[in-house]
A and B are shown apart, each in its own frame.
Chain A
Amino acid sequence: MLEAKALASHYGRIPALKGIDLAVREGELVALVGANGAGKTTLLRALSGVQPVSAGCVLFDGEDITRASPHWRVRRGIVQVPEGRQVFGPLSVEDNLLLGGYTRKRAEGARGLERVYAMFPMLRDKRREAAGTLSGGQQQMLAMGRALMAQPRLLLLDEPSMGLAPRLVEEVFETVHALKSAGTTIFLVDQNARAALAIADRAYVLETGTIVHAGTGAELLASKQVQAAYLGL
C-alpha cells in the first residue's frame, strides 16, 4: 500500500533521513522504533507531505505521491496523529473532530462523529469544552478521534502513548489493536518499543536516519541487538 524508496530529508544542510526503504502492506500494523532524534517524526512528516523530501520517493497504491500536497494525501486516506497531539486548543472538542472530517462530506462527518463518540464516550461528554482544557490522555483520544474522522486507509501514529500514565498507555494500545482488527492499516511509531513490537506484524528499527533492522515484531523482540539497544535487557 505504502512504499518509501531511498527517501531522504534534510533540516537545512543537516540530514535527518538518509535513504529510507520501507513498505507497509494493506491491513498490516507496522511499527517503527528508534531512539530520540533517530528521525521517526521526520519520516512520518515526510510521508504526510509536511516535510520536504530531498531525494527518493513515496508510493501509495503504486502511485508516486512524493510531490503531492498534504491535503491531497489526507483525501486519499493517509492520515496522521502527530506527535504531541496538536489539538486545536481554543476550539471545542466537537469542532476538532469536525475539522478532522474536513476532507469528507458533511453527512459522512455526522456519521463519523457518532462512530468516534461510540469509541471514546468521554469525548461526547466533553464535546462542548475547549480541547486545550482536556488532560493529556483525553487529548490523545481526541487526536485519534480527529484522525479517524478523515476515514484513514493508512493511519500514521506518532508516539500515541507519550507522556501517558501506564493505564492510559494500555488503553491506547488497545485502541490501536482494535483499529487494526477493524481493517485499518497502521504505521506506528512509539518509544514504548516492547509494546509496539508486541502488537506489530512487522517492524523497522531506525537509527540516525537509517533503517538498521527489519523483521516481524516477534523476530525483533527476540533479537539480541534490539533487546540491548531498545528493550533495556
Chain B
Amino acid sequence: MSAQFLQFLLAGLTVGAIYALVALGFSIIYNASQVINFAQGEFVMIGGMCTVWLANAGWPLPAAIAAAVLVAAAVGLALEKLAVEPARGASVVTLIIITIGASILLRGLATIVWDKNIHPLKAFSGEAPIQLGGATLLPQSLWVLGVTVVIVLLLSWFFGRTLLGKALLATSHNRLAAQLVGINVRHVLLASFGLSAALGAVAGILVAPITFTAWDVGVMLGLKGFAAAILGGMGSGPGAVLGGLVLGIVEAMGAGYVSSAYKDAIAFVIILAVLFFLPSGLLGRRSSDRV
C-alpha cells in the first residue's frame, strides 16, 4: 500500500465516519416514521456551533460538548412535537416538506442567535500529527473514528439487546402490531427524533476542529449523510455505516487521484446511480421481504 493511498484512505475513513453518523440519524427517523428528515444536517450545525459558542464563553470543552448535544436533542424533540406531530396523518411528502421548512428556519435562527462567520474549534487533544506507515494522521481523526466506533457499538447494543430498542424496531416494522402490544408509538417517534438529533450533533462537534463550522455547514453534511443512507439502504443501520464509509473513501480517492473539484459531485452521482440501479441500497431490505 503506497503512503499516498494510505493517506487518502485515512482521510476518507475520517470523513466517512462523520457521514455514517449523519446517515444513522436519517435511518432512525426514517424507520420510525417513513420520513426523510431534511433538517438532519441542521442538528450537525447546531452541535458544532453551540459547542464553539459555549467554549468561547469560557465553558470547559467537555461541558460545552455535552450541553451542545443536549441542545440539539431538545431541538430534535421540539421539531417532532411542534412540526411533525401536529401534521400526523399528513402524507409522507408533506412531512418531508415540513422538515425542509424546518431546516430553513433553523439556519435562519442560527444566523440570529450566533452569526454568519466561519468558526474554528480547538482540536480535542492537540494538533501534533501522528506518523503511520508514511501517512500522517491528526489526533482529531482518531477522536472521530473512536467515538464513531463507540456510538455504533452502543446503538447495536441498544437495538439488539434492550426492550426499548426492540420496541423501536418493532414499530418501524409494523406500527399497528406495535400499538396492539402496548407500545406508545408517539413516544417512539419522539425518541427517534431526539436520538437522531443527538447523533447529528456529535458528528458536527467531532468534525468542527477539522473542517471548521458555520451556520450553513448542515446543508452539505446533511446531503452527504443522505447520500450515505441511500447508498447503504435507507433504514438499515449497518447500511448507514457502510454507506458513510464508502462515500467518504470514494470522495477522498476521487479528490486525491482525480481532482478535488469533483469531491462534492461524487455524492450526487452516487445518489443518482443508487436510485437508478440499486433502489434499496447495499444493505437495505428488498421490497419483497416486507410482505
Contacts and interface: CB of A to CB of B under 8 A. Distances in A.
A165 interface: no
A95 interface: yes
Contacts of A71: 179, 182-184
Interface in B251-291: 285, 289
A49 B169 CA distance: 22
B3 interface: no
- Residue from B174, B180, B183 having most chain A Cβ neighbours under 10 A: B180
Given A91-B166, A132-B289, A99 B181 contact: yes
A122 interface: no
Contacts of B176: 50, 82, 86
A230 interface: no
Contact of A102 (B173, B181, B285): B181
A90 B182 contact: no
A98 interface: yes
B177 A150 contact: no
B170 interface: yes
A88 B180 contact: no
Interface string A74-102: 11000110100011111100010011101
A103 interface: yes
A27 interface: no
A98 B183 CA distance: 12
B32 to A, nearest CB: 14
Contacts of A132: 289
Contact of B173 (A50, A91, A146): A91
Contact of A98 (B166, B178, B184): B166
A: interface residue count bin: 20 to 34
A79 B180 contact: yes
A231 B285 CA distance: 43
Contacts, number: 67
A56 interface: no
A162 to B, nearest CB: 16
A140 to B, nearest CB: 14
B163 interface: yes
A225 interface: no
A69 interface: yes
A185 interface: no
Given A71-B183, A74-B182, A103-B182, A95 B166 contact: yes
B167 interface: yes
A39 B166 CA distance: 32
A102 B180 contact: no
A55 to B, nearest CB: 20
Contact of B183 (A48, A87, A102): A102
A87 B166 contact: no
B259 to A, nearest CB: 43
A127 to B, nearest CB: 14
A90 B173 CA distance: 8
A90 to B, nearest CB: 6
A103 B178 CA distance: 11
B182 A102 contact: yes
B170 A88 contact: yes
Contacts of A136: none
Contacts of A87: 174, 177
Nearest to B179: A70
A173 to B, nearest CB: 22
Contacts of B182: 70-71, 74-75, 102-103, 150
B173 A89 contact: yes
- Residue from A69, A82, A90, A91 having most chain B Cβ neighbours under 10 A: A90
A160 to B, nearest CB: 14
A34 B163 CA distance: 38
A111 B180 CA distance: 21
B184 A69 contact: yes
A11 to B, nearest CB: 13
Interface of A: 48-50, 69-71, 74-75, 79-80, 82, 86-91, 95, 98-100, 102-103, 132, 146, 150
22 contacts: A48-B180, A50-B179, A69-B184, A70-B182, A71-B183, A74-B180, A75-B182, A79-B180, A82-B176, A82-B177, A86-B174, A88-B170, A88-B177, A89-B174, A90-B173, A90-B285, A98-B163, A99-B181, A100-B181, A102-B167, A102-B183, A103-B181
Q: Which 10 A-B pairs have the closest CB atoms?
A: A74-B182, A103-B182, A86-B177, A70-B179, A71-B182, A88-B170, A71-B184, A80-B180, A102-B182, A50-B179
Given A48-B180, A70-B182, 8 more contacts: A74-B180, A86-B174, A88-B173, A89-B173, A90-B173, A90-B285, A91-B170, A99-B178
Interface of B: 163, 166-167, 169-170, 173-174, 176-184, 285, 289
